[in-house]
Amino acid sequence: MQIDQEVIRKVQQTFQILSNETRLKIIFYLKEKEQNVSELEAAIGLSQTAISHQLAILRKHNLVCAKKIGRNKYYRLADEHVEWMINTLLIHSTEDLS
């Protein structure tokens, strides 16, 4: 089977995006429920500016999406594929492989 170089590049880029600790924490919190920047700020302990910057990167790469309710934007995982990927990585990371 031959895999297209563009697909390899996109997969590699996704792993690079998820290798950032703050972005990964955001993903874990959003896996549990939709949240706004203030909620994520309180949970992660970084400034709203820092959280917003990381959310912009996650949105650009289609890992999260947002909807506006009143004056707030609420973020969630982009789709079931992202949730599946994160759940699979969590299971794999917590397996006892010894």
The structure tokens listed for 11 are 């997969």
* Each residue's pLDDT tens digit, 29-84: 999 999 999 999 999 999 999 999 999 999 999 999 999 999 999 999 999 999 99
**Domains of the chain with CATH codes:** 5-94 (1.10.10.10)
* Each residue's pLDDT tens digit, 23-40: 999 999 999 999 999 999
DSSP string, 21-50: HHHHHHHHHHHHS-EEHHHHHHHH---HHH
